[in-house]
Amino acid sequence: MSEIRIVSLKKITDSVPAQWTGETASGPLVYIRYRFGALRVHVGPGIDEAIERDPVFVWDEGDEYDGCMDEEELRELLPTWIVLPEVIA
C-alpha cells in the first residue's frame, strides 16, 4: 500500500464512536472512526466522499460494543504506511 501521510488530524468527538478528521500531505481528506470494535480509515477529496468510500484500512479485532479509543491506541493500531502527525488536536 502507498504511504498516507496525515499532516493535520483533529478528534471531533469526546464520546463514542471515536472519530477524527484531517488532511493528507497530498491533499485528500481523511476520516477515521472506531465503532463496534472496528477501526476504519477512509480517504477522499472531501469528508463526505471519504465516508462514502471503502476504507483504505480496517482493524476489526475490538469488542463488538466498543467505540472508545484514545490517541495512543490509535497510533498503536495503525499500520506503518499510515503516518500520523506528531500532534493531534
pLDDT per position as a tens digit, 44-59: 999 999 999 999 999 9
pTM: 0.95
pLDDT 10s digits, 10-66: 999 989 999 999 999 999 999 999 999 999 999 999 999 999 999 999 999 999 999
Query: Long-range contact list for 33-40, CB < 8 A, 24+ apart?
Result: 34/62, 34/66, 34/67, 34/68, 34/69, 34/74, 35/67, 36/62, 36/64, 36/65, 36/66, 36/67, 37/61, 37/62, 37/63, 37/64, 37/65, 37/66, 38/62, 39/69, 39/74, 39/77, 39/78
